[in-house]
């Protein structure tokens, strides 16, 4: 099974993907997390990705597609995958369709998590993320029990460099220009589900599970 989570930065894709992993036993493949890991490990891929990430731009398709398809080829992905942050444009979606088609597979559903622009800006501004397990918190809406510490694993919380206001603006611009057209792409393919992404993570998850069932 392959499920794509679509939505703007801050829509809650990462949070919902982690909840779906628990509920459905699938594997989360998050392109942003793969890039951040490479960046932390200071690999060549990480150094290249950093140049784009810090400006809020997309990492070039050839690099991104290769990285994600390699990840999808790993044995744990046989359990089924939730794609979070990939595809991010039509070229990536077509490359994914082609690669899955070659294995007689395909995307089962693309779930669009819809959140208003004002809410996205508010969420990204106060977002803190666990360095260890990537769980997201919000300083006022969903604070951790102990400031600076992850409730789930005790890891250190940090604010992403690309959550700074000027980079957020650029990321949203890129989202509307490049990623939003995927809503039409998956609608035409008869695969799109739309879910209201406002409210608590638990409420959104309930809607998402209902839509997928
Ligand atoms: P995310 O964690 O999904 O918000 O991604 C953080 C950053 O990683 C993005 O702003 C891009 O610079 C890069 N990135 C993540 N996924 C992709 C993708 N599918 N295509 C190109 N760049 C990506």
Pairwise CA distance, residues 196 & 107, whole Å = 21
Give the architecture-level CATH label for domain 2-212.
3-Layer(aba) Sandwich (3.40)
146 contacts: CB under 8 Å, gap ≥ 6: none
Angle between helices 201-212 and 13-24 (to 10 degrees): 60
The closest-lying atom of ligand 1 relative to the alpha carbon of residue 87 is 19
Asked if 42 and 49 count as a contact pair (C-beta separation under 8 A), the reply is: no
pLDDT tens track for 154-213: 999 999 989 988 899 999 999 999 999 999 999 999 999 999 999 999 999 999 999 998
Evaluate: CB of 92 within 6 angstroms of ligand 1: yes
Phi and psi at residue 18, to the nearest 5°? -65, -40
Instruction: Return the SS3 of 106.
Output: coil
| Ligand 1 pocket mutation pick from 88, 89, 173 by most atoms within 8 angstroms of CB | 88
Using DSSP, state whether 82 is helix, strand or coil: strand
pLDDT in tens, 71-111: 999 999 999 999 999 999 999 999 999 999 999 999 999 99
Please say whether the beta carbons of 29 and 68 come within 8 A.
Answer: yes
Question: Is 48's pLDDT higher than 90?
Answer: yes
pLDDT in tens, 17-28: 999 999 999 999
Q: How far is the CA of 59 from the centre of ligand 1 (A)?
A: 7
Q: How far is the C-alpha of 146 from the C-alpha of 55, rounded, in Å?
A: 31
Separation in Å, CA 211 to CA 98, 196, 201: 26, 11, 15
- Ligand 1 centroid, distance to 143 Cα (angstroms): 25
**Residue 6 and residue 183 in contact, taking contact as beta carbons nearer than 8 Å:** yes
What are the sequence ranges of the domains in the chain? 2-212
| Ligand 1 binding pocket includes 53 (Cβ within 6 Å) | yes
DSSP string, 132-196: TT--EEETTTB--SSTTB-TTT-PBEE--GGGSHHHHHHHHHHIIIIITHHHHHHHHTT-EEEEE
pTM for the whole structure: 0.93
């Amino acid at each position: 099974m392959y499920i794509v989570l679509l939505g703007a930065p801050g829509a809650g894709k990462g949070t919902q993907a982690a909840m779906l992993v628990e509920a459905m036993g699938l594997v989360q493949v998050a392109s942003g997390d793969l890039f951040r890991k490479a960046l932390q490990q200071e690999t060549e891929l990480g150094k290249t990705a950093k140049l784009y990430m810090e400006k809020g731009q997309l990492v070039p398709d050839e690099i991104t597609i290769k990285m994600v398809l390699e990840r999808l080829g790993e044995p744990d992905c046989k359990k089924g995958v939730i794609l979070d942050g990939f595809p991010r444009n039509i070229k990536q979606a077509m490359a994914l369709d082609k690669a899955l088609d070659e294995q007689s597979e395909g995307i089962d559903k693309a779930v669009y998590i819809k959140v208003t622009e004002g809410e996205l800006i508010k969420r990204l501004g106060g977002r803190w993320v666990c360095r260890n397990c990537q769980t997201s918190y919000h300083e006022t809406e969903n604070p951790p029990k102990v400031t600076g510490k992850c409730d789930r694993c005790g890891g250190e919380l940090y604010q992403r460099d690309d959550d700074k206001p000027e980079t957020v603006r650029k990321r949203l611009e890129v989202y509307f220009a490049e990623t939003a057209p995927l809503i039409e792409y998956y609608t035409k393919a008869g695969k799109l589900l739309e879910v209201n992404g406002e409210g608590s993570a638990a409420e959104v998850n309930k809607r998402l599970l209902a839509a997928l069932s």
